[in-house]
Amino acid sequence: MSWRCDLTGKGPLVGHKVSHSNIKTKRRFMPNLQNVTLSSDALGRSFRVRVSTNALKSVDHRGGLDAFLLKAKDAELAPKMLEVKRQVVKKLEAKASA
């Protein structure tokens, strides 16, 4: 399992650990990833995803998983979430045309 957020694509960053004597050694800053279950209102089902806490806050701010996915760029989403986004778009188009 990679250290990558399924919704935002956020991954580990590289930086320095700086000692008191100012010696710099390489280290990695890992994103705060959590396993959560998010539900889609349009599809009527839930999805288990591994997201950063920042992305979870953004999902809540935008009004749910569907709204977040519709606004998200395809390049940032994980393949699993890209498929969910396509299903949501298809479902919403079907509702709009009916």
Phi, psi dihedrals of residue 45, rounded to the nearest 5°: -145, 170
- Total number of domains in the chain: 1
| Digit-coded pLDDT (tens) for 20-40 | 999 999 999 999 999 999 999
| Digit-coded pLDDT (tens) for 48-80 | 999 999 999 999 999 999 999 999 999 989 999
CATH, residue 68: 2.30.170.40
Tell whether 55 is covered by a domain. Answer: yes
Tell whether 8 is covered by a domain. Answer: no
Whole-angstrom CA distances from 47 to 18, 23, 38 are 40, 45, 5
Query: What is the pTM (predicted TM-score) of this model?
Result: 0.84
Q: Which of 58, 46, 49 is nearest to 1 (CA)?
A: 49
- Give the structural domain span for 80: 13-97
Tell whether 93 is covered by a domain. Answer: yes
User: Angle CA(35)–CA(63)–CA(3) in degrees, nearest 5?
Assistant: 25
Tell whether 4 is covered by a domain. Answer: no
Burial of 58 (0-12, 13-18, 19+ CB in 10 A): middle
Tell whether 41 is covered by a domain. Answer: yes
| Digit-coded pLDDT (tens) for 85-94 | 999 999 999 9
